[in-house]
Amino acid sequence: MLQAIGLTSAPRRDLTPAVDDLTFEARPGCVTALLGAPGAGKTTALRLMLDLERGRGVTYFRGRPLHRIAHPAREIGVLLGDVPGHPARTARGQLRMLCAAAGVPASRADELLEVVGLAALRDEPLGALSLGMDRRLGLASALLGDPHTLLLDTPSAGLSPRETSWLFGLLAAHAAHGGTVLYTTDDPKEAARTADRVVTVDGGRLVADQDRAAFSRTRLRPRVAVRTPHAARLADALSREARAARRSVEVIAEAGSRLTVYGSSCPEIGETAFRHGVLVHQLADEIGDTGPVPPLIPAPTDAPDPPLTTAARQEAHDTRPVPRPRALASRPARSPLRPVRYELR
């Protein structure tokens, strides 16, 4: 079991800590998602757990703090960002180098290349790998020591649906064999699909710790996305019919000619549009994010609560664009300018 207790980052001048007294656990046999918006403190929490960030608190990995683990690579596998290797080094050479550092046999590199589906690309330089292949290599690096616990920072960012499905399938298999998996994400729907337990943080504080069913029930709501050139007319018609039928229907006007409707269905909205002669271009069932629940730990009394605005309420319904992957060849090298000879193969 992984237990994080009282994690608090060192505050910068005139700023509150990025992580403030964060306590949670990730259980063996489960995939746990650490969910929060960008800037919520997820990555900082992982860095605190790994003693890569100054601060307070302690993390126990199966009852032992990190500094008491003789061979950390055999207990904890980590994926933080891109693979830090020379662009000219081969995938096999990268893993063999890490095998030497972790004290595991070099043959483990070839085993992991097979597991993550990179056997055919073992002699490809790191700079030529796509983002999906780079993530596979990063996961192979995390698995080299056959660790019990995996800590992964936004492992699916920028991946295609196929790559994402493969990734979480591998994480689920690791958990099914008794391992502990903790990953960070800012997508509530991804957390509901792929995690057994969801730990939600906001402003560096714990706001919820729920199993998948409770999280889906309290955080996600079914909705219908509507696109029509007569959005105002259709919204008025839906509201009037809902009041007449004493049904709870919420209609929210989005940007452009779009509506988001809670408490109804595609057939009901389509029939209402037909009765009122409203042209509809699109009807689609979706799952909407209602936003984080109120914090379990109250905020300081001297910090006023932010007002709830219509814009903030509607922001949760906007579909986030898929981030464009960075070109790996353009990233700065984090190792010597030229790899030494044994690293190339």
What would the DSSP string read from start to end of 153-199? SSTTTT--HHHHHHHHHHHHHHHHTT-EEEEEES-HHHHHHH-SEEE
pTM of the model: 0.71
Its sign, for the CA torsion 34, 161, 172, 155, is negative
Is pLDDT of 333 > 80?
A: no
Closest CA to 175 of 198, 162, 194, 156: 194
Is 310 part of any domain?
A: no
Read off the CATH number of the domain in which 72 is found.
3.40.50.300
State residue 225's pLDDT score. Answer: 92
Cα gap 313→115, rounded to integer Å: 43
DSSP 68: G
Choice between 157 and 178, residue whose per-residue pLDDT is larger: 178
State residue 150's pLDDT score. Answer: 97
Domain span holding position 62: 2-218+329-343
State residue 330's pLDDT score. Answer: 38
Residues 117, 159 share a domain: yes
- 203: three-class secondary structure by DSSP: coil
Average pLDDT over residues 147-176: 93
- Gyration radius (Cα) of the chain, Å: 24
Residues 239, 205 share a domain: no
Q: What's the first-to-final CA gap in the chain, in angstroms?
A: 37
State residue 293's pLDDT score. Answer: 55
Is 292 part of any domain?
A: no
Average pLDDT over residues 20-26: 96
- pLDDT-derived band at 14 (thresholds 50, 70, 90) equals confident
Return the structure tokens found at 240.
Answer: 């009037």
H helix intervals, 245-309: 266-275
Amino acid at 159: L
Is 250 part of any domain?
A: yes
Its sign, for the CA torsion 109, 114, 118, 119, is positive
Residues 266, 155 share a domain: no
Our measurement of the distance from residue 317's CA atom to the centroid of its chain's CA atoms, rounded to an integer in Å, reads 18
Provide, rounded to the nearest whole percent, the portion of the chain with pLDDT above 90.
Answer: 62
Angle value at C-alpha 187, between 184 and 192, nearest 5 degrees:
90
Report pLDDT digits (tens) over 190-234.
999 999 999 999 999 999 999 999 998 888 878 899 999 999 999
State residue 16's pLDDT score. Answer: 85
State residue 290's pLDDT score. Answer: 65
- pLDDT-derived band at 13 (thresholds 50, 70, 90) equals confident
Residues 260, 170 share a domain: no
- pLDDT-derived band at 292 (thresholds 50, 70, 90) equals low
Report pLDDT digits (tens) over 40-79.
999 999 999 999 999 999 999 999 999 999 999 999 999 9
Residues 261, 127 share a domain: no
Number of structural domains in the chain? 2
Is pLDDT of 39 > 70?
A: yes
Residues 169, 252 share a domain: no
Choice between 22 and 341, residue whose per-residue pLDDT is larger: 22
